[in-house]
């Protein structure tokens, strides 16, 4: 029961954050959403803060799993893989009102909790590594230029982060296709240079 209860509590916490924000994510709301008792939080996690950390970790893993699924059919061309990664980051399965609310709440907690920061930061090692490796391969003969690949990955993530913030503030006016086009405008000049060298 403990593992099943933990899964239910984590999922309920994420749903509660998406529905009610941080202030509304009370122990009462979490256990009601999970259909469990308050004692189960204490027994399974020890306290609400530990449950929030587990929810942040799950949220981060869900992000990577979803992006992975979305880029699975990208094909072997490294440029197509990078395009698919950018498209996945802007896809409605990844960027939607629920996920942006949860991410914003997790980031509000991250300042005071390094464990939560590990799962909600654009400085996440896995995120940067994934983008750096994909971009390095897309550079063709210039792929040995580690500094360029790292800089382009950082710039790409920063642009996507800006688009996530824009989405949060202007969900009704957000243009996914335009956001993707603008990110690709950053990268494509390096690809044309790479292909001519």
User: Average pLDDT for residues 162-174, to the nearest whole number?
Assistant: 95
Residues 6+ apart with CB under 8 A from 105: 17, 21, 22, 25
State whether 14 and 74 are in the same domain: no
State whether 144 and 167 are in the same domain: yes
CA–CA separation, 139 vs 123, rounded Å?
22
Task: Count up the domains in the chain and report the number.
Answer: 2
State whether 104 and 89 are in the same domain: yes
State whether 165 and 68 are in the same domain: yes
Say which CATH number the domain at 174 has. Answer: 1.10.357.10
State whether 40 and 64 are in the same domain: no
Question: How much is the pTM?
Answer: 0.86
State whether 72 and 28 are in the same domain: no
Domain assignment of residue 83, given as a range: 53-196
State whether 28 and 104 are in the same domain: no
- What is the separation of C-alpha 111 from the centre of its chain, rounded to a whole number of angstroms? 17
pLDDT per residue over 96-152, tens digit each?
999 999 999 999 998 888 888 888 887 778 889 999 999 999 998 766 668 999 999
């Amino acid at each position: 029961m403990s593992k099943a209860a933990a899964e239910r509590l984590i999922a309920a916490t994420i749903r509660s954050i998406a529905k009610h924000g941080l202030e509304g994510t009370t122990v009462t709301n979490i256990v009601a959403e999970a259909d469990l008792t308050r004692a189960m939080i204490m027994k399974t996690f020890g306290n609400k803060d530990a449950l929030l950390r587990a929810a942040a970790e799950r949220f981060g893993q869900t992000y990577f799993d979803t992006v992975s699924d979305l880029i699975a059919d990208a094909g072997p061309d490294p440029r197509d893989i990078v395009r698919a990664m950018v498209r996945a980051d802007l896809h409605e399965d990844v960027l939607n009102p629920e996920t942006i609310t949860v991410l914003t709440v997790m980031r509000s907690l991250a300042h005071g909790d390094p464990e939560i920061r590990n799962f909600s930061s654009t400085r996440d090692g896995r995120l940067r590594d994934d983008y750096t490796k994909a971009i390095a391969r897309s550079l063709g003969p210039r792929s040995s230029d580690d500094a360029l690949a790292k800089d382009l990955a950082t710039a790409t993530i920063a642009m996507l982060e800006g688009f996530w913030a824009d989405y949060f503030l202007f969900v009704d006016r957000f243009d996914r296709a335009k956001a993707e086009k603008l990110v690709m405008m950053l990268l494509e000049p390096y690809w044309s240079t790479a292909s001519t060298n």
